[in-house]
C-alpha cells in the first residue's frame, strides 16, 4: 500500500462511529420502534432533539434541533426521553471491543473513536479485516451497527466513516486519495464551517479538487495564512497522531426546564443532584477536578457563568457541593431571576491517586468517601433515582453533604 499524497509515515487509522447511537439504542430495546422515526430528547415546549433515527432524518430532523420544529417536520415521530445510563453501558461495551484489537484508542465522544491499528495487523489481519471484525462484534454482541472509515490518517478515516452511513465500511487507499477526495464539496473539509465555505466558494473553491489543482503558493496567496492548511487537507495530508485514552477536559451536567423556575430551593436541589452525578462520573473516570463552575440561563437566553478553584483536586461529592452551592448562593443573593437552564461542571483535571491528594484525610473526608462508595454501588444496581443526598431548604429542613 502506498502513502497518500502529501502524507508521511505508514500508519493505518480507523474511525468508528456508531450509527444514530441514542435513537438506535431505543429501537434496540423497544423492537416496536424499529423502522419508525424516533426522536430522543425532552418532549416539551423547550425540548431539544438529542438524537434522531435515520427514519426521522429523512424528514429533516436532526440533533440540536428544537423538538417542536422536529415534530412539525415529522408529526408521526415517536419521542423517547434520553436514558444515559443505558447509553453509557453500551458505550463501555463498544470501547471494550475496540480495545480488544489495539490499545491505541482515542475516544471522541460516547459513540465514536479513532484507532491506530498499524501494530495490530500481524494478529488481526489487514486494516479492512480489522474494521469488519469490529463491525461484526458490535452487531453480534450489542445488536447495533457502526460505520467505519479506514485510511492512512485521522482526517481521511473520519471522512471515510461518513461515506456510506449507516452500517458502512469505507477504505481510502493511499494511491486513490486524490481521486476520492477531488469531487467532495469543500464544506466536508475539517475546519470549514458555513461562513468559511461561503468565503471559499466566493474565490472559486467549491470542491477539494479546486484546491488540489493549485500550487501551495497560490493557495496561500488567495487564502492567506490558512491557505497551506486547506491545501494539505485537500490532498489528504494530516499528521495528527491518535492520542491513546485522551482524558476529558471537563465533566458536567445541565438541565433545561419546561417552565422557568423561580424557587431557589428547587434549583439548589437540582444542583445537588447534578453535583452528585458529576462527582460519580469523575470517580468512574479516575479523575479529580480543581475547578467547579455553574451555568445559569434565563428566559431571555441570557447566560451567566461562575467558577471557583479549590485548593486541591477532588472527586468527593461533599467537597464539590459546597463550592457549587456557594457559587449559586452568591449569585442568587444579589440578582436572582427565574431560571430556564442550570448546570454544573468541573475542569482543571488531575489523575493522581487519592492517597497522594489526601495524605492526612480527616474524619469528614473518610466519611464522605464511604458515602460516595455506597451511593455509587446503589446507583449501579438500582439506577440513579434510587438514592440521593438531601439539600437544606430556606426553611431549614433537609440535609446535605457537609451539613448543607
> Could you report how far apart the first and last alpha carbons of the chain are, in Å?
64
112 is catalytic: yes
Comparing C-alpha atoms, which of 305, 279, 301 is closest to residue 402?
279
Residue 7's closest CA among 175, 244, 245, 133?
175
Burial class (CB in 10 A: 0-12, 13-18, 19+), 64: exposed
Of the candidates 321, 319, 249, the residue with the CA atom closest to the CA atom of residue 285: 249
Closest among 283, 261, 248, 249 to 343, alpha carbons compared:
261
Instruction: Give strand ranges (E) for 229-388.
Output: 250-261, 288-298, 303-314, 339-350
Helix-strand-coil split of the chain, %, nearest 5: 45, 20, 35
Q: What is the dihedral of CA 382, 383, 387, 389, to 10 degrees?
A: 150
CA separation (Å) from 14 to 8, 182, 241, 246, 259? Answer: 17, 21, 12, 16, 44
Element (H, E) at 109: strand 105-109
Read off the C-alpha cell for 24.
438506535
Q: Phi-psi bin for 245: left (phi > 0), alpha (psi -120 to 50), beta? A: left
Q: Is the dihedral of CA 397, 259, 254, 38 positive or negative?
A: positive
Active-site entry in 26, 106, 112, 280: 112
Burial 170-201 (b: 16+ CB within 10 A, else e): bbbebeebbebbbeeebeebeebeeebbeebe
Q: Which active-site residues does the annotation give?
A: 112
Amino acid at each position: 500500500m502506498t502513502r497518500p499524497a502529501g502524507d508521511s509515515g505508514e500508519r493505518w487509522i480507523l474511525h468508528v462511529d456508531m450509527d444514530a447511537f441514542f435513537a438506535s439504542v431505543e429501537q434496540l430495546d423497544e423492537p416496536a420502534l424499529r423502522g419508525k422515526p424516533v426522536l430522543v430528547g425532552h418532549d416539551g415546549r423547550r425540548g431539544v432533539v438529542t438524537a434522531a433515527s435515520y427514519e426521522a432524518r429523512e424528514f429533516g430532523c436532526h440533533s440540536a434541533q428544537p423538538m417542536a420544529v422536529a415534530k412539525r417536520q415529522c408529526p408521526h415521530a415517536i419521542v423517547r426521553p434520553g436514558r444515559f445510563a443505558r447509553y453509557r453501558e453500551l458505550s463501555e461495551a463498544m470501547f471494550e471491543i475496540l480495545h480488544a484489537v489495539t490499545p491505541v484508542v482515542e475516544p471522541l465522544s460516547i459513540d465514536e473513536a479513532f484507532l491506530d491499528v498499524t501494530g495490530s495487523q500481524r494478529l488481526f489481519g489487514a486494516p479492512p479485516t480489522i474494521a469488519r471484525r469490529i463491525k461484526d462484534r458490535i452487531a453480534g454482541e450489542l445488536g447495533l451497527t457502526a460505520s467505519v472509515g479506514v485510511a492512512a490518517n485521522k482526517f481521511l478515516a473520519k471522512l471515510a466513516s461518513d461515506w456510506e452511513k449507516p452500517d458502512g465500511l469505507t477504505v481510502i487507499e493511499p494511491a486513490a486519495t486524490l481521486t476520492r477526495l477531488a469531487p467532495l464539496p469543500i464544506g466536508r473539509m475539517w475546519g470549514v464551517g458555513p461562513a468559511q465555505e461561503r468565503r471559499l466558494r466566493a474565490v472559486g473553491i467549491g470542491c477539494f479538487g479546486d484546491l488540489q489543482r493549485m500550487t501551495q503558493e497560490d493557495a496561500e496567496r488567495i487564502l492567506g495564512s490558512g491557505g497551506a492548511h486547506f491545501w494539505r487537507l485537500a490532498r489528504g495530508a494530516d499528521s495528527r497522531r491518535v492520542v491513546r485514552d485522551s482524558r476529558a477536559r471537563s465533566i458536567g451536567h445541565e438541565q433545561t426546564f419546561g417552565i422557568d423556575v423561580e424557587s431557589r430551593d428547587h434549583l439548589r436541589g437540582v444542583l445537588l443532584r447534578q453535583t452528585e452525578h458529576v462527582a460519580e462520573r469523575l470517580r468512574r473516570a479516575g479523575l479529580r477536578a480543581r475547578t467547579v463552575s455553574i451555568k445559569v440561563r434565563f428566559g431571555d437566553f441570557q447566560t451567566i457563568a461562575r467558577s471557583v478553584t479549590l485548593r486541591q483536586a477532588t472527586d468527593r461529592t461533599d467537597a464539590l457541593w459546597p463550592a457549587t452551592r456557594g457559587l449559586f448562593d452568591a449569585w442568587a443573593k444579589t440578582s436572582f431571576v427565574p431560571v430556564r437552564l442550570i448546570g454544573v461542571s468541573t475542569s482543571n483535571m488531575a489523575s493522581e491517586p487519592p492517597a497522594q491528594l489526601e495524605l492526612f484525610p480527616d474524619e469528614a473526608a473518610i466519611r464522605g468517601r464511604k458515602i460516595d462508595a455506597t451511593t455509587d454501588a446503589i446507583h449501579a444496581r438500582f439506577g440513579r433515582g434510587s438514592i440521593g443526598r438531601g439539600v437544606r431548604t430556606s426553611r431549614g429542613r433537609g440535609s446535605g453533604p457537609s451539613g448543607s
